[in-house]
């Protein structure tokens, strides 16, 4: 057959075959990406019951918490609308719902760069989303400022704005009202403030909104459209309108509670809250060493379509969705150990949902263990747009803790529900969760009022034990760098870390410092602590909080918090013990030394590392001077590389002797090989570095340690200038004077001077500060002190560079303490009460009266007085109110 094919045809056939193979390979890769699991790496929430983070939420759930309370008086006066008789039109037949315990009018507008005027017009739902999104990112160990310009997507479930229904005193529009009330801005504002360029979508599918948001976020990640995603939802109950409408439909429970699967289920109980999860492709999360809380294996969305009614659930659609999502996740129904059901507690919806579950999880499948089912709605009410995300956060907590929290308000199972058909258990207490297969896997449902259904399959992620053990490559001192946008917030940050050290004892100090330094944004007000071990760090923080500024405390208070102009002084020696310590414990320094050794060995056939500890060599007398200069150059250059990797880069450089060649490398005049060539030439050794050497214009200012003045451009390009640099007399004093005249007040020195006294006197006279790289003693104590000082002076440290080469883990640490103020639009009632109080002070009837009143002018002889009454102002009238 091949003989009949010509050579050109054969080549063409081979080419087309290879092209087809590449195409198929690319298609398989794409298909693999589109099916890749999604890691949940961070969560943030505000839920009823005083739940302000996942930890308090889990404690609340496991203790059987019931977050349903009477309508707070800062929302509306329920007495004005309440009537226990459901048939009375225009009334609300319940008094309770799942409300947040915090004041939803409070917000840290300054933190997010929002003016007070705009904050007042912003729907509190938008404010809540901003704060919870920020906290979710911090809990994931991701500094929000590092996401600027990235393809991070935002997907938010939100149903309108009840803030828009408040009766405003001034109904005139202003520049902020439209953006403050539009649902699309709920996601758009997060993207805008954080500088995100991925998809930004606000969606409303009623009760399934936030879970549909998670579905869209996962798809966006799998398509490569987003590199990271924030997904969740929000719901706030601010006005009676929603209650009135739902009561007219008899959709709400008379006691305001969701009694999932209970025979007494008479409707759902409303709730409010906000939840956000941070999502990432699993492979990316593993690559970035992110904290993986759980893994989403599959998501699905469908629609009820035509059925018994627009708002009537469709059991067949629910069944088909769950089966489709299981297949997508490659999970068998028998592997599911728990289902977080929609479970609103309605007489119609619960039996339909359970029937769908029965058809999925019973039938041909034989379960080794019962299926646990429950709903977070029994604890906090139905959060409507945020219901799905509340169920997801609860589900992740169950997976993490290997327990299932109790379901409330189940006294007698609805007779239309046969739990034994699956069999299923609705837990009444906390139950240990034993996996039905290799790992714990659950399903989560959310069904929308509009007929849009969502289902998610979530599995646990095996907790990786901390296998890292202390190694020789570990520094002896650590830095905890803290910051905030103002001094008050900074004090609270320090206090939160003090509390964290008191309450936890198992975390490694290096992991705490790593997460705090690399996982938080850096703000102007700064503080740092340095310590050798955890106990020392704890003591330093506790001492400071008591008012004792002891050892290891570097304070940023009183500093200008601006990026300092920094000059490097590359001069002096480094003792053998210090050099060897850094070589053994600092990966970047070690890599730079090895690079110098390799290049010098290629040029001169001599190694800096083969004959014993670094800096302590026994060489031939004829080469001792040469090698002393080479080693000095290598040590200073390696220190420079280390500082640069930490984000500490000079604006100017002063170099003395070999240090001037290092300065030339730092400013881009020459490379390492060229510098070695000049050293070899000075000592009369040609080696392999002979000939004309390449030189370039300096990128930053360089001061000569011999002349004490800036190196001119023509000098920088002069071979002769650099050939003579090692033989010149030094003039450090003039060099420092030159830098001072140029406005430099912060210096960083790389070595130790034998005659440092004169220079220190000069620093004192000029009022400048010089930070050392090394001193006698532990080099890490000096380095961390200097780095902490530079940080507190306003230098933005590259903490990832500081941690480069070490084994670290991201852990859970305190989040930012928002400095909230009250922002709320002035309503008609607010103005009436305020006006009545002002008027009453003008014209009083009787100074001894309990209440001040305003005289109303009338044609009759009797005087009429108008009083503004409110229970807040006059508690004695409570309970009268016409009844």
pLDDT at 686 over 90: no
Model confidence at 775, pLDDT cuts 50, 70, 90, reads: confident
What average pLDDT score do residues 465-484 get? Answer: 78
Cα(85)–Cα(96) distance, integer angstroms: 15
What integer pLDDT is reported at residue 115 of this predicted model?
A: 96
Residues 188-208: pLDDT tens digits?
999 999 999 999 999 999 999
Mean pLDDT of 777-803: 94
**In which element (H, E) is residue 679 found?**
helix 672-682
| pLDDT over threshold 60, residue 153 | yes
Strands 273-281 and 96-98: unpaired
pLDDT at 857: 43
Q: What is the mean pLDDT of residues 860-875?
A: 51
Give tens-digit pLDDT for 130-151.
Answer: 999 999 999 999 999 999 999 9
Q: What is the pLDDT at residue 827?
A: 79
Among the residue ranges 177-186, 456-465, 587-596, 634-643, the one predicted with the least confidence is: 456-465
| Fold entry, domain 566-774 | Malonyl-Coenzyme A Acyl Carrier Protein; domain 2 (3.40.366)
38-42, 271-275, 338-342, 654-658: the lowest-pLDDT one: 654-658
Q: Which has more pLDDT, 532 or 175?
A: 532
Give the distance, in angstroms, between the CA of residue 282 and the centroid of all CA atoms in the same chain: 17
Element holding 453 (H helix, E strand): strand 452-459
Average pLDDT over residues 831-845: 47
- Helix axis angle, 779-792 to 576-585, nearest 10°: 70
pLDDT at 330 (0 to 100): 97
Distance CA 553, CA 537 (A): 9
Report whether pLDDT(844) > 50. no
Residue with tokens 């966006």: 220
Determine the pLDDT at residue 257.
98
- pLDDT for position 35: 84
pTM: 0.89
Give the three-class secondary structure for 140.
coil
How much is the pLDDT for 572?
84
pLDDT band at 880 (very low <50, low <70, confident <90, very high): very low
Report whether pLDDT(26) > 60: yes
pLDDT tens digits, 410-453: 999 999 999 999 999 999 999 999 998 889 999 999 999 999 99
Mean per-residue pLDDT of the chain: 89
Which residues fall within 8 angstroms of residue 520, CB to CB, at 6 or more apart? Answer: 138, 143, 483, 816
Residue range 557-577: mean pLDDT, rounded: 77
In the predicted structure, residue 666 carries a pLDDT above the cut 60 = yes
826 band by pLDDT with thresholds 50, 70 and 90 = confident
**Average pLDDT value for residue range 226-237:** 99
| Percent of the chain scoring above 70 in pLDDT | 87
Would you state the pLDDT for residue 840?
Answer: 44
pLDDT greater than 60 at residue 860: no
Decide if 81 contacts 431 (C-beta within 8 A): no
User: In this prediction, what percent of the chain has a pLDDT beyond 90?
Assistant: 71
What would the pLDDT profile of 690-732 be if each residue is shown by its tens digit?
A: 566 789 999 999 999 888 999 998 899 999 999 888 887 777 7
pLDDT of residue 506: 86
Least confident residue range of 172-181, 286-295, 340-349: 172-181
Contact present, 236 and 128 (Cβ < 8 Å) = yes
On the question of pLDDT at 310 being above 90, the answer is no
Q: Does residue 836 register a pLDDT over 50? A: no
Mean pLDDT of 169-181: 83
Can you read off the two tokens belonging to residue 554?
């570097």
Give the pLDDT band of residue 19 (cuts 50, 70, 90).
Answer: confident
> Which pLDDT score, from 0 to 100, does residue 500 have?
97
Please name every residue paired with 298 in a beta bridge, in sequence order, or none if there are none: 457
Residue 864 · residue 858 · CB < 8 Å: yes
Whether the pLDDT of residue 866 is over 70: the answer is no
**Spatial contact of 594 and 584, defined as CB atoms under 8 Å apart:** no
Whether 2 shows a pLDDT value over 50: the answer reads: no
Q: Is the pLDDT of residue 789 over 60?
A: yes
For residue 562, the model assigns a pLDDT of 62
Query: How many residues are there in the chain?
Result: 883
Model pLDDT, residue 685: 81
* Position 302 pLDDT exceeds 50: yes
- The CATH label, of 3.40.47.10, 3.40.50.720, 2.40.30.110, 3.40.50.300, for the domain at 38-459 is 3.40.47.10
Pick from 519-533, 573-587, 755-769: least confident: 755-769
Q: Is 568 helix (H, G, I), strand (E, B) or coil?
A: strand
pLDDT at site 828: 65
Work out the angle at residue 361's Cα, subtended by the Cα atoms of residues 355 and 365, and round it to the nearest 5 degrees: 135
233: nearest Cα among 349, 38, 76, 385: 385
Residue 832 has pLDDT above 50, yes or no: no
Task: Specify the pLDDT at position 882.
Answer: 36
Contact 749, 790 (CB under 8 A): no
Domain extents in the chain: 38-459, 566-774, 827-877
């Amino acid at each position: 057959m091949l003989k009949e094919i010509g050579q050109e045809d054969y080549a063409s056939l081979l080419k087309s075959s290879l092209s087809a193979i590449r195409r198929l390979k690319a298609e398989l890769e794409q298909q693999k990406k589109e099916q890749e699991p999604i890691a949940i790496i961070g969560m943030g929430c505000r839920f009823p019951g005083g739940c302000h983070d996942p930890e308090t939420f889990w404690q609340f759930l496991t203790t059987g918490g019931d977050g349903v309370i009477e309508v707070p008086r800062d929302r509306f006066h329920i007495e004005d609308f309440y009537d226990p008789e459901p048939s009375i039109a225009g009334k609300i037949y319940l008094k309770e719902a799942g409300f947040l315990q915090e004041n939803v009018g409070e917000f840290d507008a300054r933190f997010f760069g929002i003016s007070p005027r705009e904050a007042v017009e912003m729907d509190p739902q938008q404010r809540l989303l901003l704060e919870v999104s920020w906290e979710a990112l911090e809990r994931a160990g991701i500094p929000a400022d590092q996401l600027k310009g990235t393809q991070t997507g935002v997907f938010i479930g939100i149903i309108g704005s009840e803030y828009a229904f408040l009766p405003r005193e001034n109904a005139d529009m202003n520049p902020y009202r439209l953006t403050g009330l539009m649902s699309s801005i709920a996601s758009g504002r997060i993207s805008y403030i954080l500088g995100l360029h991925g998809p930004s979508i606000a969606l409303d599918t009623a009760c399934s909104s936030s879970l549909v948001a998670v579905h869209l976020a996962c798809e966006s990640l799998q398509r490569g459209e987003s590199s990271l995603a924030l997904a969740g939802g929000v719901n706030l109950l601010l006005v009676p309108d929603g209650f009135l409408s739902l009561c007219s439909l008899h959709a709400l429970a008379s006691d305001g509670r969701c009694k999932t699967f209970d025979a007494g289920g008479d409707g759902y109980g409303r709730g409010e809250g906000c939840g956000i999860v941070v999502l990432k492709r699993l492979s990316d999360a593993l690559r970035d060493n992110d904290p993986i809380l759980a893994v989403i294996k599959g998501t699905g969305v469908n629609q009820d379509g035509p059925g018994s009614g627009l708002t009537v659930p469709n059991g067949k659609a629910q069944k088909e969705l769950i089966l489709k999502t299981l297949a997508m996740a490659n999970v068998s129904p028998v592997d599911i150990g728990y289902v977080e059901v929609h479970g609103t507690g309605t007489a119609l919806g619960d039996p339909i949902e359970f029937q769908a579950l029965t058809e999925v999880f019973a039938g041909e499948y034989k379960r080794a263990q019962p299926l646990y089912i429950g709903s977070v709605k029994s604890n906090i009410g139905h959060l409507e747009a945020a219901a799905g995300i509340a169920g997801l956060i609860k589900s992740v907590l169950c997976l993490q803790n290997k327990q299932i929290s109790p379901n409330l308000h189940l006294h007698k199972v609805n007779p239309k529900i046969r739990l034994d058909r699956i069999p299923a258990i609705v837990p009444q207490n906390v139950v240990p969760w034993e996996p039905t297969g290799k790992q714990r896997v659950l399903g989560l449902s959310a069904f929308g009022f509009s007929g849009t259904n969502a289902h998610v399959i979530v599995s646990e992620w095996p907790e990786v034990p901390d296998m890292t053990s202390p190694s020789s490559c570990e520094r002896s001192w650590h830095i905890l760098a803290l910051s905030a946008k103002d001094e008050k917030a900074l004090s609270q940050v320090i206090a939160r870390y003090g509390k964290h050290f008191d309450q936890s004892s198992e975390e490694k100090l290096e992991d705490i410092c790593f997460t705090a330094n690399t996982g938080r944004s850096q703000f102007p007000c700064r503080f740092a602590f340095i310590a050798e071990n955890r106990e020392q760090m704890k003591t330093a923080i506790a001492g400071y909080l008591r008012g004792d500024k002891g050892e290891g405390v570097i304070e940023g208070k009183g500093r200008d918090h601006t990026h300092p102009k920094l000059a490097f002084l590359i001069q002096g020696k480094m003792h053998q013990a210090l050099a060897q310590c850094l070589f053994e414990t600092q990966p970047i320094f070690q890599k730079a030394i090895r690079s110098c050794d390799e290049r010098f060995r290629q040029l001169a056939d001599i190694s800096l590392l083969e004959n014993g500890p670094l800096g302590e060599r026994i060489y031939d007398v004829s080469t001792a001077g040469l090698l002393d200069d080479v080693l000095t150059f290598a040590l200073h250059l390696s220190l420079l590389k280390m500082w640069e990797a930490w984000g500490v880069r000079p604006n100017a450089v002063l170099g003395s002797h070999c240090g001037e060649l290092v300065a030339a490398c730092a400013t881009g005049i020459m490379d390492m090989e060229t510098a070695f060539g000049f050293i070899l030439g000075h000592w009369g050794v040609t080696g392999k570095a002979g000939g004309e050497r390449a030189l370039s214009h300096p990128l930053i200012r360089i001061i000569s340690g011999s002349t004490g003045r800036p190196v001119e451009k023509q000098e920088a390009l002069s071979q002769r200038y650099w050939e003579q640099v090692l033989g010149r007399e030094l003039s450090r004093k003039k060099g420092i004077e030159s830098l001072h005249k140029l406005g430099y007040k912060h210096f960083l020195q790389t070595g130790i001077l034998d005659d440092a006294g004169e220079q220190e006197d000069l620093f004192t006279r000029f009022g400048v500060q010089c930070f050392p790289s090394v001193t006698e003693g532990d080099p890490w104590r000096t380095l961390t002190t200097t780095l902490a000082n530079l940080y507190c002076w306003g230098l933005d440290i590259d903490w990832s560079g500081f941690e480069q080469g070490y084994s670290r883990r991201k852990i859970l640490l305190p989040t930012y303490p928002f400095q909230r103020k009250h922002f709320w639009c002035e309503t008609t009632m607010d103005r009436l009460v305020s006006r009545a109080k002002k008027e009453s002070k003008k014209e009083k009837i009787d100074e001894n009266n309990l209440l001040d009143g305003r005289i109303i002018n009338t044609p009759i002889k009797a005087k009429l007085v108008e009083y503004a009454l409110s229970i807040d102002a006059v508690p004695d009238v409570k309970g009268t109110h016409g009844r």
